[in-house]
């Protein structure tokens, strides 16, 4: 009787052999896709933070009355040389827009952009 039980257990083990490998093979592409998506999201997030930091730094330069070349240099120092920087003045206020192009591997979004506005030193927006 004991011989039949041990033979039944051995047959059950043989039937389950390879099941873990098959389950792993099914789950592995999902894990790889999840890692790729998380890496892409982190790259977008870090680029967005760099753009915000660059725009704020450049807006501070504008507020101190620095020339536009110094403002653009400050923004590119924080965002990288490939970043596009636009400075727009309107009624005593200046808005700095920093655009960073993302790597081509991130297919769901091309660029990130950040704006910062500062009042230019020595000027008031109400005409006084």
- The domain spans of the chain are 2-119
**Tens of pLDDT along the chain (128 residues)?**
555 556 656 565 666 667 778 888 889 999 999 998 898 889 899 999 999 999 999 999 998 888 889 999 999 999 988 899 999 988 889 999 999 998 887 777 889 999 999 998 765 444 44
d(CA 118, CA 94): 5
Between strands 111-119 and 84-90, the pairing is unpaired
């Amino acid at each position: 009787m004991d011989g039949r039980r041990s033979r039944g257990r051995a047959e059950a083990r043989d039937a389950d052999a390879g099941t873990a490998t098959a389950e792993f093979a099914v789950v592995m592409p999902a894990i790889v896709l999840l890692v790729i998506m998380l890496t892409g999201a982190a790259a977008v997030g870090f680029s967005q933070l760099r753009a915000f930091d660059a725009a704020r730094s450049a807006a501070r330069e504008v507020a101190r009355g620095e020339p536009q070349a110094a403002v653009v240099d400050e923004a590119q120092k924080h965002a990288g040389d490939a970043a596009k920087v636009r400075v727009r003045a309107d009624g005593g206020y200046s808005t700095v827009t920093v655009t960073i192009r993302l790597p081509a591997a991130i297919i769901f979004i091309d660029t990130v952009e950040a704006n910062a506005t500062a009042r230019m030193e020595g000027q008031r927006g109400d005409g006084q």
